[in-house]
Structure 1
Amino acid sequence: MWIRDVRPWGGDPCDVRVEGELVAEVVPAGAARSGGAGSGPEVAGRGRLLLPAFSDVHVHLDSTRLGLPFRPHTGGPGVWTMMLNDRAHWREAEVGIRERVTDTLGRMIARGTTRVRSFAQVDVDARLERLEAVLEARETHRGRAEVQVIAFPQAGLLREEGSAQVLEDALRAGADVVGGIDPCSLDRDPVRHLDIVFGLAERYGVPVDVHLHEPGELGRFSADLILERTLALGMQGNVLISHGYGLWDGSESRTRELVERLADADVATSTVAPGGRQNLPLELLVEHGVRVGLGEDGQRDYWSPYGNADMLDRTWQLAFTHGFRRDDLVEHCLALATRGGASIMDRDLPRLAGVGDRPGLAVGDRADLLLVAGETPTAAVMDRSGDRTVLHRGRVVADGLELR
């Protein structure tokens, strides 16, 4: 397949040849001959930007209400109260959970996301029902996206009898990652909580992803315990701290020390670009080689009305909440939303090498690609055009926001 007249990361017009799943050749536009024996299909670039496809590494597909009538928010403050609100209502949706999860994943792919890391809540109420819905959606879209599923104990592991067993059942049922959440503030026994999570990770040979909403010193204490277990079990490159709001409100020296420790242990982090909270030190993190990914979190669900299946929109939000104006910093947000997240899902991919690193489109890279209209990458983030073509593993899977 030839992709004609595209501008990789906003550079000079090129023609790109895809062979199988890989980028095989990149030449100046018009330099490669058309037709001839063995020639394949062509994709019209029309001067659009060529970017790596998006990687959403923090999304809760199992709670989505995208495409359903708008529902006023009824959740209260705090993780436990919000969880109870979700538990009370998620079965009442106008369509079943399997249908709405599959639909939302399709919307994400159509908008340019071909790598997804989704949580699936497993607890004594839902048991494996929500997990099974995400696994089914993954199978439906198997040829269009790569999906990792996280067994997520949203209600904690110690507050309700049987929670730890349900988490293990989820791993046996096909979950790819074991989750944890607020070991101090939710379960109030961080050692026992993390021993369960890391014990299951070691037993089943899976990565770990811990939601960490805890503030200040409490959050840093939990992070210390996570780093300790990562190193003790040799799990470098297989652990991620999600959110981590409270990790970055200390002194500059403490922030730098924590960044260095995350880099040494190859513990990644992900953000959903929240407003009104302490921002991640994105430049410092990439300077030290910490893997950072972006995600949409909920999708207009029982937790919040935000989320629209569009990672280009969330990239704008990441740049906006960090106050970025320079083109290189806005483009860095694009790099995080694409190859930054991809390096979390596939630790064999190199970490971003710096704010100016623009990987993912070289010969030999897997052809997970997004063509999108825009004068420059920064303009594309600001304008968020719907003129998009999406490739996964060298095959066109969506065009004009419609699945193929």
Structure 2
Amino acid sequence: MLIANTRPWGAAAADVEIEGDRIVAIRPHDAASPPTDADVEGRGRLLLPSFSDVHVHLDSSRIGLPFREHTGAPGVWGMMLNDRANWRNTDIPHAEVVATTLERMIAHGTTRVRSFAQVDVDCKLDKFDSVMAAKERFAGQAEVQIITFPQAGILREAGTVELLEESLKQGSDVMGGIDPSMLDRDPAKHLDIVFDLAERYQVEVDIHLHEPGELGVFSTELVIERTRALGMQGKVNLSHAYDLGAVGEATSRRLIDAFAELDISMATVAPSTSNHLSLVQLIEAGVRVGLGEDGQRDYWSPYGNCDMLDRTWQLAFVNGYRRDDLIELALAVGTMGGASIMSPASPRVAAVGERPGVSVGDRADLLLVDGETPVSAVMDRGADRTVIHDGRVVADGLALVGV
């Protein structure tokens, strides 16, 4: 397949040749050679890596359902109880809501997804089953990894550990944890269970961390200790951790250096806070950083619309970026940053100014989108999009094709 007349990362017009699931050649555009029926007409659009959403809760989505009044109480436990009280009360089966959300994400340009699936004594494996069904349904259009997630904690309700283990037996890709100090109030036991299950089932770890200041640092240091002791370098991710920048430059620097040493990655949802660690410092230290939409118009908040180009805009905005190279860094994090979390073989975003993912040899997971430059694409977030996954067109004009 040839993508004719496209601009990789905003460069000069080129013809990009794809063979199988890889880019095999990039040549200056030949206007005298008309595309064949098997080719894709770039029409001068930008060619970017497709998006990677590495922090999304497909299981709590309300995409496709009517807007509802927000009824959540403050705090993780209050929000979780609000979700628990309402998620079954829809006219559309839960599995269909999950599938609709994933379909819309792919149509907007996301072909790599790492989704949480809540497992607890209330929903048991029902939410996990819905996410697994969506993963299987769209296996040809996106790569999906599932994080088994103890949203209600691990120690508060008897029977939780057994359900988490069953989800791992059934094919979960990642073992999740959450606020080991604040929610379960026994961080050592919480993390011991998380890392033990991950080690036994040979999966990675992803820890939700909403804990503030020094408490967040304490829990993070326990994660670092276990990563080092168990030799789990490159297999641990911290999600949120948006207050680790509130504890002073020396402590923040020490944590960043530890993340780099142990290859602990980070997933951000571009929160509206000013205390997160510096994105530039993390990238320059060699830390893998990915982006996610978090909830999708769910019982936690009304935000989220399945469009990672919107969330890339938010990442640039909350970091106060105005320079082109920094806004393009946000775009690189939203695309290949998350890809490097999902696969160690993926190119990494290693510095401001690097634009990985659209070179000869790279996997053909690509997005054609209208825009004068990558920065204008982030600002304007146009709808003229063509999505390619593993060398095949899977969506065009914000709708899936061939499904």
TM-score (normalizing by structure 2): 0.98
Indicate if the aligned counterparts of 1:290 and 1:351 stay in contact, CA closer than 8 A. no
Q: 1:286 aligns with which of 283, 304, 313?
A: 283
What's the CA shift string for 1:47-104, capped at 9, x where partnerless? 0000000000000000000111101100010000110010000000221110000000
Match of 2:352 in 1: 355
The yes-or-no answer on 1:399 pairing with 2:402 is no
1:34 Cα deviation from its structure 2 partner: 5.4
Match of 1:12 in 2: 12
Q: 2:138 aligns with which of 132, 138, 141?
A: 141
Letter in 1 for 2:17: R
Letter in 2 for 1:192: K
Q: 1:82 aligns with which of 61, 68, 79?
A: 79
1:251 Cα deviation from its structure 2 partner: 1.4
Indicate if the aligned counterparts of 2:71 and 2:299 stay in contact, CA closer than 8 A. yes
Letter in 2 for 1:317: Q
> What is the rounded CA distance, in whole Å, between the counterparts of 2:133 and 2:64 in structure 1?
19
Indicate if the aligned counterparts of 1:15 and 1:32 stay in contact, CA closer than 8 A. no
Letter in 2 for 1:391: I
Match of 1:26 in 2: 26
Match of 1:312 in 2: 309
Indicate if the aligned counterparts of 2:176 and 2:205 stay in contact, CA closer than 8 A. yes
What's the CA shift string for 1:124-157, capped at 9, x where partnerless? 0100000000000011101000000000000000
Q: 2:196 aligns with which of 190, 199, 205?
A: 199
Match of 1:68 in 2: 65
Question: Secondary structure of the equivalent of 1:92?
Answer: coil
Letter in 1 for 2:360: V
Match of 1:55 in 2: 52
Q: 2:383 aligns with which of 381, 386, 392?
A: 386
> What is the rounded CA distance, in whole Å, between the counterparts of 1:244 and 1:181 in structure 2?
11
Indicate if the aligned counterparts of 1:279 and 1:322 stay in contact, CA closer than 8 A. no
Indicate if the aligned counterparts of 2:243 and 2:277 stay in contact, CA closer than 8 A. no
> What is the rounded CA distance, in whole Å, between the counterparts of 2:242 and 2:73 in structure 1?
19
Match of 1:93 in 2: 90
Match of 2:99 in 1: 102
Question: Secondary structure of the equivalent of 1:231?
Answer: helix
Q: 2:340 aligns with which of 317, 340, 343?
A: 343
> What is the rounded CA distance, in whole Å, between the counterparts of 2:123 and 2:367 in structure 1?
36
Structure 2: gaps of 5 or more residues: none
What's the CA shift string for 1:305-330, capped at 9, x where partnerless? 00000000000000011110000000
Once the two structures are superposed, the pairs formed by residues 117-156 of structure 1 within 5 Å of their partners are 117-156=114-153
The yes-or-no answer on 1:188 pairing with 2:163 is no
Aligned pair count reads 401
1:241 Cα deviation from its structure 2 partner: 0.4
> What is the rounded CA distance, in whole Å, between the counterparts of 1:340 and 1:198 in structure 2?
24
Letter in 2 for 1:194: L
1:245 Cα deviation from its structure 2 partner: 1.5
1:257 Cα deviation from its structure 2 partner: 1.3
Question: Secondary structure of the equivalent of 2:311?
Answer: helix
> What is the rounded CA distance, in whole Å, between the counterparts of 1:102 and 1:69 in structure 2?
16
Match of 1:114 in 2: 111
1:378 Cα deviation from its structure 2 partner: 0.3
> What is the rounded CA distance, in whole Å, between the counterparts of 1:144 and 1:266 in structure 2?
29
Residues 293-302 or 161-170, more deviating: 161-170
Structure 1: gaps of 5 or more residues: none
> What is the rounded CA distance, in whole Å, between the counterparts of 2:224 and 2:31 in structure 1?
51
1:280 Cα deviation from its structure 2 partner: 3.1
> What is the rounded CA distance, in whole Å, between the counterparts of 1:146 and 1:350 in structure 2?
16
> What is the rounded CA distance, in whole Å, between the counterparts of 1:359 and 1:40 in structure 2?
29
Match of 2:3 in 1: 3
Indicate if the aligned counterparts of 2:104 and 2:306 stay in contact, CA closer than 8 A. yes
> What is the rounded CA distance, in whole Å, between the counterparts of 1:54 and 1:302 in structure 2?
25
Indicate if the aligned counterparts of 1:2 and 1:16 stay in contact, CA closer than 8 A. yes
Letter in 1 for 2:142: A
Q: 2:268 aligns with which of 266, 271, 281?
A: 271
TM-score (normalizing by structure 1): 0.98
Indicate if the aligned counterparts of 2:210 and 2:216 stay in contact, CA closer than 8 A. yes
1:33 Cα deviation from its structure 2 partner: 4.9
Indicate if the aligned counterparts of 1:181 and 1:211 stay in contact, CA closer than 8 A. yes
> What is the rounded CA distance, in whole Å, between the counterparts of 1:343 and 1:40 in structure 2?
33
Question: Secondary structure of the equivalent of 2:7?
Answer: strand
> What is the rounded CA distance, in whole Å, between the counterparts of 1:3 and 1:248 in structure 2?
43
Residues 180-189 or 268-277, more deviating: 268-277
1:160 Cα deviation from its structure 2 partner: 0.5
The yes-or-no answer on 1:240 pairing with 2:237 is yes
> What is the rounded CA distance, in whole Å, between the counterparts of 1:298 and 1:94 in structure 2?
20
